A = this chain, B = another copy of it.
Amino acid sequence: MFRRLMTFDEAKKVIDEQLKLKPLGAEEISLLEAYNRVLAEDVVATLDIPPFNRSTVDGYAVKAADTFGAEENQPVQLRICGSVSVGEPPKITVNPGEAAEIVTGAPIPEGADAVVMVEDTDRDGDLLRVYRAVTRDENVMKKGADIKKGETALKAGQVLGASEIGVLAALGFAKAKVFKAPVVAVLSTGAEVTEPGKPLPPGKIYDINAYSLSTAVRESGGKPLYLGVIPDDKAALRTALERALASADMVVTSGGVSVGPKDLTPQTVAALGEPGLLVCGIAVKPGKPTTIALVGEKPVFALPGHPASTLLMFHLLVRPVIQLMSGRTAREDRAVKALAATRMFSAKGRRTFVMVKLKHDELKRLVAVPVETGASGAITTLAKADGFVEIPENQQFIDSDEEVTVTLLKSTLLL
């Protein structure tokens, strides 16, 4: 059976339109666990921050008008009527001609509307000399100046970092309502793969993909459910996939998708339930056998066995899905401009992704050097690559010294 493969753009469109992606729902978690999670609802301030007028300095709370005209050689004299502590409601009122001792953060007492800094005063028992005039509200942080009661302080969809979590704490919340992180079942197939940590029988290799994909799931904001290597027969694969679908929001497999007689994954995935297979191969290089299905509302991605291809396909197709399911806006990758170090060829009629390493040449120009993929199975390809260059389907090659856009794969990369 011959059938035209879907183009990369067609496959992306199928994902966008048929997977009907939306955040999974919300859960309430401790603020201490909320780092890097996504807020599931707008946060409306239930109180003013600060909740009262506060002094921003150590000094004396006064009526500003009482200090007008005060200068270094012509102080104004006020009577100290008491003091205000931090953390307690003031028990005193400042009347005309009076001042109340106050510390940073303490509430401004009734009657006062400004604070004179201690450095601008001189005290003699109950008598205070003020050497500098203050204006109304000077050295006062007004009630609600930071966040007003009723204001939307944070919006649904914001990713929680140190300052967002600070805002939630300021408003008195010890918990946050965040989108659930999608649970992504990860399994490897293939008669030749053995789980790391076990002895390696002759003719076999260690499984890479279940570990690298689990890590990539975590990196994308999902929770990996590692299912390891599934024995290479149809019944075992079907049982494993059913178990995966029952306990996860999404399934990612690797291996078993090319045309060999033992490549069972597509047929097994197809039989799992409606609507079934959506994408059976994509006109890309690498990653051509990539298969995508939907079982009920749960996406299944069957990626190729080649470790570098599988991680690249994960990055291009699966990561945005996890991000959307966790309430994130699937965000644009970071990219830099560089010059092609050598001519890079495309695969005829297929969107080609060339893994590259960035470096500066002798003229200090940033150049993109293709990473030798050697052959199928090269895990070191990705470890060495900083990103990839995309060659459109209708272009035969990119010439040496031509400017290219390098999409960065490692978020940690610094140039």
Q: Hey, which bits of chain A sit against chain B, CB under 8 A? A: 31-32, 34-35, 47, 49-52, 54, 56, 58, 85-90, 103-107, 140-141, 145-147, 153-154, 159-175, 190-193, 195-198, 200, 202-216, 218-219, 224, 226, 232, 258-262, 305, 307, 311, 331-332, 334, 374-380, 382-383, 410-412, 414
Cα distance A208–B47 in the bound complex, in angstroms: 14
| CB neighbours of A414 from chain B (8 A) | 331-332, 334
Cα distance A191–B311 in the bound complex, in angstroms: 52
| CB neighbours of A377 from chain B (8 A) | 50, 54, 56, 105, 141, 146
Cα distance A325–B204 in the bound complex, in angstroms: 39
| A197–B219 touching, CB < 8 Å | no
Contacts A172-B197, A192-B105 given; does A166 touch B209 at CB 8 Å: yes
Cα distance A165–B311 in the bound complex, in angstroms: 12
| A35–B145 touching, CB < 8 Å | no
| CB neighbours of A146 from chain B (8 A) | 374, 377-380
Cα distance A210–B86 in the bound complex, in angstroms: 19
Cα distance A105–B307 in the bound complex, in angstroms: 13
Cα distance A141–B165 in the bound complex, in angstroms: 51
Cα distance A383–B195 in the bound complex, in angstroms: 45
| CB neighbours of A90 from chain B (8 A) | 203
Name the distance in Å between A395's Cβ and chain B's nearest Cβ. Answer: 25
| CB neighbours of A200 from chain B (8 A) | 47, 51, 172
Q: Which residue of B lies closest to A54 (CB)?
A: B377
Q: A167-B208, A172-B196 are in contact. List 9 more A-B contacts (CB 8 A).
A: A31-B215, A35-B218, A51-B204, A52-B202, A87-B204, A105-B377, A146-B378, A167-B383, A169-B211
| A260–B204 touching, CB < 8 Å | no
Cα distance A261–B212 in the bound complex, in angstroms: 56
Q: Is the interface of A mostly helix, strand, loop or mixed?
A: loop
| A88–B203 touching, CB < 8 Å | yes
| A169–B206 touching, CB < 8 Å | yes
Question: Which of A56, A58, A105, A414 has the most chain B CB within a 10 Å cutoff?
Answer: A105
Which residue in B35, B190, B209, B216 is a CB contact (below 8 Å) of A215? Answer: B35
Contacts A103-B262, A212-B165, A226-B32 given; does A190 touch B86 at CB 8 Å: yes
Which residue in B107, B170, B224 is a CB contact (below 8 Å) of A208? Answer: B170
| A168–B374 touching, CB < 8 Å | no
Contacts A86-B191, A191-B87 given; does A172 touch B311 at CB 8 Å: no
| CB neighbours of A382 from chain B (8 A) | 162-163, 166
| A103–B260 touching, CB < 8 Å | yes
Which residue in B89, B161, B307 is a CB contact (below 8 Å) of A219? Answer: B161
Q: Which residue of B lies closest to A218 (CB)?
A: B35
Which residue in B58, B165, B226 is a CB contact (below 8 Å) of A259? Answer: B58
| CB neighbours of A89 from chain B (8 A) | 202-203
| CB neighbours of A378 from chain B (8 A) | 141, 145-146
Q: Which residue of B lies closest to A47 (CB)?
A: B200
| B105–A305 touching, CB < 8 Å | yes
Cα distance A359–B341 in the bound complex, in angstroms: 34
Which residue in B49, B85, B198, B334 is a CB contact (below 8 Å) of A379? Answer: B49
| B170–A379 touching, CB < 8 Å | yes
| B162–A32 touching, CB < 8 Å | no
Name the distance in Å between A337's Cβ and chain B's nearest Cβ. Answer: 14
Name the distance in Å between A296's Cβ and chain B's nearest Cβ. Answer: 27
